Amino acid sequence: MSFKDDLEDLETAEDFLRFLGVPFEQRVVHVNRLHILQRFHEYLSADTDLDAVDDDAMAARYRAHLTRAYTDFVASSAIAEKTFKVHKEEARKMADRFVSLDTLVLPRG
């Protein structure tokens, strides 16, 4: 079996983290599992020549991408990281509503 064949049996974020040997805290994964997997997918998609490497190199790169994805959510939150479209849209809406203090004219009185 190849590395990619082994991946096909994995279903949860915990499965991927254990299989790739990435240490994790359950509380972080519990709250962010879908966000971690989405970010992992984004990092893998950006890695252009994964198919050109052997299984050992591929496993190392998968491990590095998953470690990075997990770490993104250890010190941050799903909303701050804007992983999914709904978060990106909400951040854009909030930016559109932002009014800086220096643009406000306060009444004198």
Say which amino acid occupies 70: Y
Neighbours of 92 (CB within 10 A): 11
Residue 94 lies in a domain: yes
- Enter the pTM of the model: 0.74
Structural domain contains residue 65: yes
SS (H, E, C) 1-34: CCHHHHHCCCCCHHHHHHHCCCCCCHHHHHHHHH
Dihedral in degrees, nearest 10, Cα atoms 14, 18, 64, 90: 10
pLDDT per residue of the chain (109 residues) written in tens, 0 to 9 = 889 999 999 999 999 999 999 999 999 999 999 999 999 999 999 999 888 999 999 999 999 999 999 999 998 776 666 665 665 566 566 666 666 666 666 667 6
Radius of gyration over every alpha carbon of the chain, rounded to an integer in angstroms: 19
* Residue 108 within a domain: no
Question: What's the number of domains the chain is made of?
Answer: 1
Does residue 86 lie in a domain region? yes
Query: Would 70 be classed as within a structural domain?
Result: yes
